[in-house]
Amino acid sequence: MKEPTDPRSSWSEYFILMSQLAASRSTCPRRSVGAVLVREHRVIATGYNGAPAGQPHCTEVGCLMENGHCVRTIHAELNALLQCARYGIQTAGVDLYCTDLPCRHCARNLVQAGVRTIYYLRPYESPETLSLVEATGVELIHLPWPNPDLETLIRHP
Ligand SMILES: [Zn+2]
Ligand SMILES: [Zn+2]
């Protein structure tokens, strides 16, 4: 936590704002989700929800719906983990900053990849996620919305 007089963005503000920036790259119109994986206050990977590389996006061909969910995309959290897999980056003990509470599928993958803490902004109806993180000892932190006015966070000369 930072002092009220401290003009700098806090670490949690910094990384959750980055997750929102990543979400701006989302290609599924149903929900824009962004994720940032962090180790020792350093970003190791980012992700947003979109179709696998080389495949058409929802924004081009529409969503692929199954049981009320779009299954065309790889979710933001999983894309961030897969970026680590692709480039050989260790994920044990990392923190996740995500615009949304992960779905139960992503939560399982995050637990198995060794994610230690999950920070998120928007709740999501997924009781399975809540029971899984509780059972596995992963810390879950619901963050308040950061200051959306970046101008106030950037000091000009
Ligand atoms: Zn979609
Ligand atoms: Zn998910």
Verify whether residue 77 is a known catalytic residue.
Answer: yes
Q: Contact 21/59 with Cβ under 8 angstroms?
A: no
Nearest listed ligand to the Cα of residue 74: 2
Q: Which residues, by Cβ under 5 Å, contact ligand 2, an ion?
A: 75, 103, 106
Sheet containing 117-122: give its strands across. Answer: 42-48, 34-39, 95-100, 117-122, 139-142
Q: Render each residue's pLDDT in the chain as its tens digit; 157 residues.
A: 556 667 788 899 999 999 999 999 999 999 999 999 999 999 999 999 999 999 999 999 999 999 999 999 999 999 999 999 999 999 999 999 999 999 999 999 999 999 999 999 999 999 999 999 999 999 999 998 876 666 676 766 6
Distances (CA, A) of 76 to 3, 27, 73, 106, 114: 32, 11, 9, 9, 17
CB atoms within 10 A of CB 75: 23
In sequence order, what are the residues at sequence separation of 6 or more whose Cβ sits closer than 8 angstroms to the Cβ of residue 71?
64, 65
Ligand of minimum distance to the alpha carbon of 105:
2
Catalytic residue chosen out of the listed positions 3, 13, 60, 77? 77
Ligand nearest to the CA of 35: 2
54/68 Cα distance (integer angstroms): 25
What pTM was computed for the model? 0.91
Gap from CA of 146 to ligand 2 centroid (Å): 22
Q: Cβ contacts of residue 114 below 8 Å, gap of 6+?
A: 91, 92, 93, 94
- Give the number of residues written for the chain: 157
